[in-house]
Structure 1
Amino acid sequence: MTPDEYCQQKAARSGSSFYYSFLFLPPEQRRAITALYAFCREVDDVVDECQDPQIAATKLAWWRQELSRVYAGQPQHPVTQALQAVSREFDLPEEQLQEIIDGMEMDLQQSRYLDFKALSLYCYRVAGVVGLLAAGIFGFQDRRTQKYAHDLGLAFQLTNIIRDVGEDARMGRIYLPIDELQRFEVTAADILNARHTDNFERLMAFQIERAESYYTQALEALPSADRRAQRPGLVMAAIYRTLLDEIKADRCRVLTQRTSLTPVRKLWIAWRTWVRG
């Protein structure tokens, strides 16, 4: 199996909305974004699948060294071998890839966030940076597109947090800011014990409204000259906003279930958004 085939399998198996967003890209861009996505999955899996935080930290340290080997021309892992092949062509800075690992390390160091400012740093590292790297792969002429990419990455991560409240709670994590829990009179115990209350619904409606504001902010920042090049991000935004609509229609029952869209529906949204440009 070649490094590119490994990355392709990693992306396809995930069933992520991200995968559907780059189906229609030209081969070289698809190869680059697939390698980036596979890298994100590898380091994210370290945190999600390792029960022992010390083992997870050791594995993330190995990935840090492996990124250095990419830029020294000596990568060992199929994903980093694929990244090396595209890193120069698409100017992927090592510093930004390392920041993604910084975000993953935050998951090992804390399971609560005091306020949205603290959560924003986490979202930037695990998703905003990915948005910036992806925008570079897709190509842009206007620097304002970087603002779009940053905000869109945050919107995606906020959507993930909303969708995964129950799943994260079962791993002992609550990403909803503590001060917002207090404002809506929802306790950590309510979330950890999957107690769906009217207050919880109001809290989640607030989270959805903020995520939607980031989508709006991002799309308003995207210069028309770069809209066509940035279609993969627009595809993912369309899929994720549909997901938010489904969660809202289901009264935010995210504590006991994980709302998702079928592959056929994702593909339909992706094709429709791509054609519209």
Structure 2
Amino acid sequence: MPPRLSNPPIPVAFRVPPRRCIGSASSSLPRRFASSSSSSPSSASSTLQTSYISSLLRKADYENYLATLFTPSASRQAVWAVRAFNVETALIRENVKNPQLGVGRIAWWRDAIEKVYNGTPPVHPVAQALAQALETAPLSKSWFKRILSEREANLQDPQYASVADLEKYAENTASALLYLQLEALGLQNPQADHAASHVGKAIGIATILRATPFHVEERRFYLPSELMAKHGVAAETVFRSGPSPSLEEVVFEVATAANDHLITARSFLKDSPPAAHPALLSAVPAELYLQALEKSNFNLFDPKLSKRNWRLPFRLWSAARNRTI
């Protein structure tokens, strides 16, 4: 049993319902951030910057936003900046019809990251927030570059052959994001890194599963082709007919891989510094989804899976209190 902590307060934001993200997240960009030139943020623009980022996370990454509320206040802005970068780049694929437009946006972010590290960030709220985060946190540029490279590859709607391919995608996105969150907390610890690697793989795989109904509507399919062939499932059949017992067998194997990573992550968590725990709380929403998926007999199209899990706030609070995931 992990050591019990003094009860963390339940954040007020837990009682505020999320709002759906409609269209491009950048469509609500405040006017004062529209310029591409760089400048140091004033107090007023810094307030707008924080407002933009918190709104972005609440709309487009609500479950993980709740998890970040257990981050120490001294590190929270840096963590939010990192997660906002992830949202901005993850939405590129969903907001462009032409992959070349997506390549252009990825290129803009590559240039923005270079400018952030050169001390001349563009006047964009997330870029400005990352520049401020670098003043106090040793964020590694390589993780940002890895995320961008994987986002660019994803623009071509790759077909993953195996679970190992899904794991590679998850390592280069969700795990890289968690490494940055650990750095935002001022941590460099091998055990915490191992835990983050496996938590990220679980999150990345669970995210692919959760998004499959949406992807199917757009005639996209990312579940491993090896498992599809093994169970006699064709993507075209899924596009036409949706769920089937054979597809549930595929989903079961993919979900089992995600759950195995959560189990492995817990084995590393016990030897990780307590300060690393807030970065790993994103495992909780992923676990709740996998549990709900199991109750739905691994039917990705069960309408119950699209509903907000009312247990999440308490589970996050309990995990923060007991240092579990």
Cα gap change, 1:195 to 1:8, in 2 (>3 Å): closer
Matched, 1:28 2:74: yes
Contact 1:142–1:223 (CA under 8 A) maintained in structure 2: no
Which residue of structure 1 lines up, in the alignment, with residue 276 of structure 2?
230
**8 Å contact 1:184–1:202 — kept in the other structure?**
yes
Residues 146 and 238 (structure 1), Cα distance of their counterparts in 2 relative to 1, 3 Å cut? same
Cα distance change of structure 1 residues 238 and 154 upon mapping to structure 2, 3 Å threshold = same
Which amino acid in structure 2 is aligned with residue 10 of structure 1? L
Which residue type is aligned with residue 97 of structure 1? F
Does the Cα contact within 8 Å between 2:161 and 2:226 map onto a contact in 1? yes
* 1:57 equivalenced with 2:57 (yes/no): no
Greater shift, 169-178 or 200-209, is seen at 169-178
TM-score by length of 1: 0.92
Q: Which has the larger displacement, 133-142 or 175-184?
A: 133-142
8 Å CA contact 2:116–2:131 kept in 1: the answer is yes
User: Which whole-Å deviations, capped at 9, do the CAs of 1:9-52 have from their partners, x for residues lacking one?
Assistant: 11112253211111122222111111111111111111111111
d(CA) in 1 for partners of 2:116, 2:289: 36
By how many angstroms is 1:249 displaced? Answer: 0.6
Distance 2:238 2:206 in 1: 17
* Contact 2:89–2:106 (Cα < 8 Å) also in 1: yes
Report how far residue 223 of structure 1 moved: 4.1
Identity %: 22
Please say if residues 204 and 252 of structure 1, whose CA atoms lie closer than 8 Å, have aligned partners that are also in contact: yes
Report the Cα offset of residue 118 of structure 1.
2.8
Three-state SS of the structure 1 residue aligned to 2:220 is coil
**Counterpart secondary structure, 1:229:** helix
1:63-212 equivalence runs, <5 A: 63-76=109-122, 77-140=124-187, 142-212=189-259
Query: Is residue 163–residue 258 contact of structure 1 (8 Å, CA) maintained in 2?
Result: no
43-52 or 107-116, which deviates more:
107-116
AA paired with 1:102? S
Aligned residues: 276
Cα contact 1:170–1:192 (8 A) shared by 2 = yes
CA contact (8 A) 2:248 2:298 kept: yes
- For residues 218-259 of structure 1, the C-alpha deviation after alignment (integer angstroms, 9 at most, x for no partner) is 111224351x22332443222221111111111223246472
Distance in 2 between the 1:176 and 1:123 partners? 13
Mapped contact 2:121–2:128 kept (Cα < 8 A) = yes
Contact 1:166–1:191 at 8 Å: present in 2 too?
no
Bigger CA radius of gyration: 2
Farther off after superposition, 243-252 or 228-237 = 228-237
Given that 1:139 and 1:230 are in contact with CA atoms closer than 8 Å, whether structure 2 keeps it comes out as no
- How many angstroms does 1:141 deviate by? 6.1
Paired with 1:121 and 1:236, the residues of 2 have a C-alpha distance of 19
CA contact (8 A) 1:8 1:34 kept: yes
CA distance in 2, matches of 1:267, 1:260: 17
> 1:267 maps to which residue?
313
Q: Distance in 2 between the 1:115 and 1:47 partners?
A: 22
Q: Give 1 or 2: higher helix fraction.
A: 1
Q: Residues 144 and 276 (structure 1 numbering): CA distance in 2 closer, same or farther, change over 3 Å?
A: closer
Q: Contact 1:112–1:173 at 8 Å: present in 2 too?
A: no
Stretches of structure 2 lacking an aligned partner (at least 5 in a row): 1-46
Inter-partner Cα distance in structure 1 for 2:292 and 2:63: 15
Q: Taking structure 1 as reference, are residues 35 and 258 closer, same or farther at Cα in structure 2, changes over 3 Å only?
A: farther
Over residues 90-113 of structure 1, what are the superposed CA-to-partner deviations in whole Å (9 max), with x where a residue is unaligned? 211112101111111111123311
1:215 and 2:215 are equivalent in the alignment:
no
Confirm or deny that 1:242 pairs with 2:288.
Answer: yes
Matching residue's letter, 1:82 = A
Query: Counterpart of 1:48 in structure 2: which amino acid?
Result: E
Structure 1: stretches of 5+ with no match in the other structure: none
Letter of the aligned partner of 2:140 in structure 1? Answer: P
Q: TM-score, normalising length from structure 2?
A: 0.79
RMSD: 1.9
